[in-house]
Amino acid sequence: MLRNLISAAAVAATALVALPQAGAQQYPSRPITVVVPFAAGGPTDTVARSVADAMTKAMPGANIVVENAAGAGGTIGVGKVARANPDGYTLLVFHIGMATAPALYRKLQYDPLKDFEYVGLINDVPMTLLVKNGFPAKSVKEMVAYVKQHPDKVTLANAGIGSASHLCGLLFQSAIGQELVTVPYKGTAPALADLMGGQVDILCDQTTNTTPQIKAGKVTALAVTSPARLESLPDLPTMAESGYPGFDVSIWHGMYAPKGTPKPVLDKLVATLQQALKDPGLNKRFAELGAQTASSQRATPDGLRKHLAAEIDRWSPVIKKAGVYAD
Ligand code: ASP
């Protein structure tokens, strides 16, 4: 009897130990959801969908789908992933907002440095400063002169507090010493649509969203926010060339999983992301949209965690100095 009990307990213990491993071997056995905390069709969505496709190709049996959970500058979707079951079936793709939200939100529902596992950095993406076609300015200098003459008439779109467009807009307003009337959206896909429709005047957004519209002449680009001009938009001057040296906003995207995701599952995701980032189709698409794919050293849990921590340290004082908060 005692022997039977002991061997039953031993079998149960072995099963318990073996479970996560077996789970990892079978992983994924159902669709994986990548949450994008902004509207569909925007820059974060574009990056997430491109990576999800390349990862689906790289992981036999995988089906990776994207879900948009937009609102509050991305913080709603991020909170959803922080609270999700840590089983590898809910992931997050988010940008620099992961680093800026702690300084911007008084009541954040998650801690970016405690509530997540890190899969890896995906890419770096510069931003472009745009005005609607027909806006009476063909350069940053002319635009600033106009804005200063008509401060109540000119509107600046963004994707909510903590979004990349909000951050870029904040830096721009502080650089020119002029506050603008801002119009928040659930992502820069709807913001860009309104800029093309002439309902708002100015938008600063990632090249992954704006490049096709700039090339099609549907919006007027005035400058790029990276220190050097881009190969994908060679005629566009930098903000430094336009009279604002040191204006450098580069957005980066990373992939996260909820804290407690089993290590074997995480290892599988890291290897798959690394492979996906070598996909020639993905790299061609990123290059066309002005994005720079992360190196294999940065596309790692450690690469993302270190970059996130450094970006929190870099942006928190800037945001605090700007004195912008949200509840
Ligand atoms: N580009 C947006 C932002 O301002 C996010 C998005 O719509 O993907 O953060």
Top mutation candidate among 34, 35, 44 for ligand 1, by most atoms within 8 Å of CB: 44
Residue 3 clears pLDDT 50, i.e. is over it? no
Q: How far is the CA of 160 from the centre of ligand 1 (A)?
A: 9
Tokens in use for 31?
A: 């669709």
Mean pLDDT of 270-288: 96
CA angle 157, 39, 79 (to 5 degrees): 105
- Report the pLDDT value the prediction gives residue 323, as an integer from 0 to 100: 72
* Per-residue model confidence as pLDDT tens digits over 308-321: 999 999 888 888 87
- Report the pLDDT value the prediction gives residue 87, as an integer from 0 to 100: 96
In ligand 1, the atom with minimum distance to the C-alpha of 166 is 4
Please indicate whether residue 120, judged by its CB atom, sits closer than 6 Å to ligand 1.
no
Residue with tokens 């913001």: 191
Rounded Cα–Cα distance for residues 222 and 69 (Å): 31
Q: Which DSSP letter does residue 123 get?
A: E
Provide the pLDDT confidence category of residue 17 given band limits of 50, 70 and 90. Answer: very low
Provide the pLDDT confidence category of residue 11 given band limits of 50, 70 and 90. Answer: very low
Q: Whose CA is nearest to atom 8 of ligand 1?
A: 44
Mean pLDDT of 64-85: 96
Beta strands in the chain (DSSP E): 32-36, 64-68, 90-94, 116-131, 155-158, 181-184, 202-206, 220-224, 250-258, 292-293
Give the pTM: 0.88
- Report the pLDDT value the prediction gives residue 327, as an integer from 0 to 100: 66
Please indicate whether residue 127, judged by its CB atom, sits closer than 6 Å to ligand 1.
no
Rounded Cα–Cα distance for residues 200 and 135 (Å): 10
Rounded Cα–Cα distance for residues 127 and 38 (Å): 17
Cα separations in angstroms, 212 against 68, 216, 220, 246 = 22, 6, 12, 27
Q: pLDDT: is 91 or 324 the higher one?
A: 91
